[in-house]
Amino acid sequence: MSTTETKRAEQVAVELSPLPAVVYEPLVRRALDEDLGRAGDLTTEATVPADLNAEADVVARVAGRVAGLDVAAAAFRLLDPSLVWHPRVADGEDVEAGTVLARVAGKARAILTAERTALNFLGHLSGIATATRDIARAVEEVSPGTRVADTRKTLPGLRALQKYAVRTGGGSNHRFALDDAVLIKDNHIALAGSIGTAVAAARARAGHLVKVEVEVDTLEQLEAALAAGADVVLLDNMDLDTLRLAVELTAGRAVTEASGGITPKTAPAIAATGVDLLSIGWLTHSVRNLDVALDVARPA
């Protein structure tokens, strides 16, 4: 392995399993259909000869962590299977501004028509991966055992891709949907009558492999959740002093998760309280895209 390859391998924060194409291809098809509309790409068909071939580079305009290359490639492949995609980096790599992420070659019309769909996915997922990487690194410096996790606050239809991007950034995934874990929140408690009643009902209904988490706002609620046998306690919007007391009170009897308004500036101090997890909704619902572009290299 060359020095460059070794450096790139060291930059990959996690061992990534690629997403199966069956997960993202339907999303890409719908995005292409949305963009093509009723009459196709009027601009490209009017200005680019049908028989012209070209090559184009997908370039990172700013530094960041890459995620979503296979999804971007699918946009080109689904529009024109004859297009050839040459990746230059891999998901999970950190790149500098100006780095060529991939080259696509083939019919010029197809390249330009698929461009926006490919870049939309790649920029969004890379933005999530980059933000996750940055906050996970900040947490790692003060509390190596604390993990950064996402939430279910994902964009409709994109959850699998967004959670993949969080993993690419070195983060952990919270539950994927309503059916893979129990999370008893304040409204459930209000309607059930008490934390103990809600946990007991969940235990009776859920399978033996399903974890039960309870959201608590106070130390009194935390004591009730622990007494009821919660596997995880979500410490919601607690100040730092209360978080420290909550971790001490829990004493390893349950996994502790801090949540509510966590930012890159506040995350290290929250992690230093000793919580096991920081769950952060904005990683998926309002993260800034990584700026990526497509530059035509030359007619082929």
Catalytic residue among 55, 213, 236, 257: 236
185 as an active site residue: the answer is yes
CATH architecture of the domain covering 3-132+287-299: Alpha-Beta Complex (3.90)
Catalytic residue among 116, 152, 159, 203: 116
Return the closest-CA partner of residue 67 out of 150, 135, 168: 168
Catalytic residue among 29, 153, 211, 244: 153
CB 16 within 8 A of CB 168: yes
CA distances from 183 to 69, 194, 277 (A): 33, 14, 15
Torsion from C-alpha of 244, 248, 250, 253, nearest 10 degrees: 130
**Residue ranges matching CATH 3.20.20.70 in the chain:** 137-285
Mean pLDDT per 10-residue section of the chain, whose length is 300 residues? 41 71 98 96 97 97 98 98 98 98 98 98 98 97 96 96 98 96 97 97 94 98 98 97 98 97 96 98 96 86
116 as an active site residue: the answer is yes
Q: What is the pLDDT of residue 3?
A: 42
Catalytic residue among 91, 150, 215, 276: 215
Q: What is the pLDDT of residue 16?
A: 84
Q: What is the pLDDT of residue 7?
A: 42
**Residue ranges matching CATH 3.90.1170.20 in the chain:** 3-132+287-299
Return the closest-CA partner of residue 120 out of 241, 294, 271: 294
Regarding the domain delimited by 137-285, which CATH topology (the fold level of the hierarchy) does it fall under? TIM Barrel (3.20.20)
Catalytic residue among 88, 103, 159, 185: 185
